[in-house]
Amino acid sequence: MGKVDRKKLESEVYKIVGEIPFGSVVTYGQLARLAGFPQCARMVGYAMAHTPEASGLPCHRVVNSQGRIAPNWPEQRALLEQEGICFRTNGCVDLHKYMWKEISHLDG
Protein backbone atom coordinates (compact mmCIF):
# COMPACT_ATOMS: atom_id res chain seq x y z
CA MET A 1 0.00 0.00 0.00
CA GLY A 2 1.42 3.34 -1.05
CA LYS A 3 0.73 6.68 0.48
CA VAL A 4 -2.74 8.12 0.62
CA ASP A 5 -3.75 10.18 -2.41
CA ARG A 6 -4.79 13.31 -0.58
CA LYS A 7 -6.27 14.92 -3.68
CA LYS A 8 -8.44 11.88 -4.30
CA LEU A 9 -9.48 11.75 -0.67
CA GLU A 10 -10.38 15.43 -0.69
CA SER A 11 -12.44 15.25 -3.89
CA GLU A 12 -14.36 12.22 -2.62
CA VAL A 13 -14.94 13.72 0.80
CA TYR A 14 -16.04 17.09 -0.55
CA LYS A 15 -18.45 15.36 -2.92
CA ILE A 16 -20.11 13.54 -0.01
CA VAL A 17 -20.16 16.57 2.26
CA GLY A 18 -22.03 18.45 -0.45
CA GLU A 19 -24.78 15.84 -0.23
CA ILE A 20 -25.36 15.96 3.52
CA PRO A 21 -29.00 17.01 3.88
CA PHE A 22 -30.15 20.08 5.80
CA GLY A 23 -30.62 19.28 9.49
CA SER A 24 -28.37 16.20 9.47
CA VAL A 25 -24.81 15.51 10.61
CA VAL A 26 -22.08 13.04 9.65
CA THR A 27 -18.96 11.96 11.54
CA TYR A 28 -15.37 12.16 10.29
CA GLY A 29 -15.03 8.40 10.54
CA GLN A 30 -18.11 7.80 8.42
CA LEU A 31 -16.88 10.24 5.80
CA ALA A 32 -13.53 8.47 5.70
CA ARG A 33 -15.20 5.11 5.14
CA LEU A 34 -17.61 6.40 2.50
CA ALA A 35 -14.74 8.06 0.64
CA GLY A 36 -12.86 4.76 0.54
CA PHE A 37 -10.21 5.69 3.12
CA PRO A 38 -11.41 3.91 6.30
CA GLN A 39 -8.15 4.56 8.18
CA CYS A 40 -8.00 8.25 7.39
CA ALA A 41 -10.46 9.96 9.73
CA ARG A 42 -7.66 12.32 10.65
CA MET A 43 -7.08 13.34 7.06
CA VAL A 44 -10.79 14.05 6.74
CA GLY A 45 -10.46 16.42 9.66
CA TYR A 46 -7.48 18.00 7.97
CA ALA A 47 -9.45 18.40 4.74
CA MET A 48 -12.38 19.98 6.60
CA ALA A 49 -10.09 22.40 8.40
CA HIS A 50 -8.79 23.56 5.02
CA THR A 51 -12.09 23.70 3.14
CA PRO A 52 -12.23 26.98 1.21
CA GLU A 53 -14.97 29.25 2.51
CA ALA A 54 -15.91 29.97 -1.11
CA SER A 55 -16.70 26.29 -1.73
CA GLY A 56 -20.03 26.77 -0.01
CA LEU A 57 -19.82 23.22 1.37
CA PRO A 58 -21.84 22.55 4.55
CA CYS A 59 -18.79 21.41 6.50
CA HIS A 60 -20.52 22.53 9.70
CA ARG A 61 -22.57 19.33 9.39
CA VAL A 62 -19.46 17.28 10.15
CA VAL A 63 -18.82 16.40 13.81
CA ASN A 64 -16.70 13.84 15.64
CA SER A 65 -17.80 10.40 16.83
CA GLN A 66 -19.06 11.89 20.08
CA GLY A 67 -21.21 14.51 18.37
CA ARG A 68 -18.75 17.21 19.46
CA ILE A 69 -18.17 20.23 17.22
CA ALA A 70 -14.78 21.43 15.98
CA PRO A 71 -12.53 23.25 18.46
CA ASN A 72 -11.75 26.86 17.61
CA TRP A 73 -14.90 27.15 15.53
CA PRO A 74 -17.73 28.03 17.95
CA GLU A 75 -19.75 29.39 15.02
CA GLN A 76 -20.44 25.82 13.99
CA ARG A 77 -22.91 25.46 16.83
CA ALA A 78 -25.04 28.39 15.69
CA LEU A 79 -25.02 27.11 12.12
CA LEU A 80 -26.35 23.74 13.27
CA GLU A 81 -28.94 25.30 15.55
CA GLN A 82 -30.17 27.30 12.57
CA GLU A 83 -31.01 23.93 11.00
CA GLY A 84 -33.07 22.87 13.97
CA ILE A 85 -30.35 20.81 15.61
CA CYS A 86 -30.39 20.99 19.42
CA PHE A 87 -27.37 20.52 21.67
CA ARG A 88 -27.22 18.47 24.88
CA THR A 89 -25.99 20.00 28.12
CA ASN A 90 -22.63 18.34 27.55
CA GLY A 91 -22.17 20.38 24.37
CA CYS A 92 -22.71 17.50 21.96
CA VAL A 93 -25.40 16.89 19.36
CA ASP A 94 -27.53 13.75 19.71
CA LEU A 95 -26.14 11.54 16.92
CA HIS A 96 -28.95 9.01 17.34
CA LYS A 97 -31.33 11.81 16.44
CA TYR A 98 -29.51 13.86 13.80
CA MET A 99 -27.25 11.35 12.05
CA TRP A 100 -27.74 11.32 8.27
CA LYS A 101 -30.15 8.39 8.06
CA GLU A 102 -28.93 7.20 4.65
CA ILE A 103 -25.52 6.32 6.05
CA SER A 104 -26.34 5.56 9.68
CA HIS A 105 -25.76 1.87 8.90
CA LEU A 106 -22.01 2.56 8.95
CA ASP A 107 -22.08 3.09 12.70
CA GLY A 108 -21.09 -0.24 14.09
Partner DNA sequence: CACGTGACCCTAT
Partner DNA sequence: TATAGGGCCACGT
Catalytic residue among 40, 59, 86, 92: 59
Q: Is 86 a catalytic residue?
A: no
Among 16, 34, 62, 95, the residue binding DNA under the rule CB under 7 A is 62
Q: Report, in this order, helix, strand and coil percent for the chain, each rounded to 5.
A: 45, 10, 45
Element (DSSP H or E) covering residue 27: strand 26-27
Amino acid at 70: A
Q: How far apart are CA 29 and CA 12, in angstroms?
A: 14
Q: How far apart are CA 79 and CA 82, in angstroms?
A: 5
- Using CB under 7 A as the binding rule, whether residue 51 contacts DNA is answered as yes
Q: How far is the CB of 50 from DNA (least distance, A)?
A: 8
Among 45, 79, 83, 92, the residue binding DNA under the rule CB under 7 A is 45
Round the CA-based radius of gyration of the chain to a whole number and report it: 13
- Using CB under 7 A as the binding rule, whether residue 24 contacts DNA is answered as no
Q: What amino acid positions are annotated as catalytic residues?
A: 59
Task: Give the footprint of DNA on this chain (CB under 7 A).
Answer: 3-4, 6, 27-30, 32, 39-46, 48-49, 51, 59-60, 62, 64-66, 68, 70-73, 76, 90
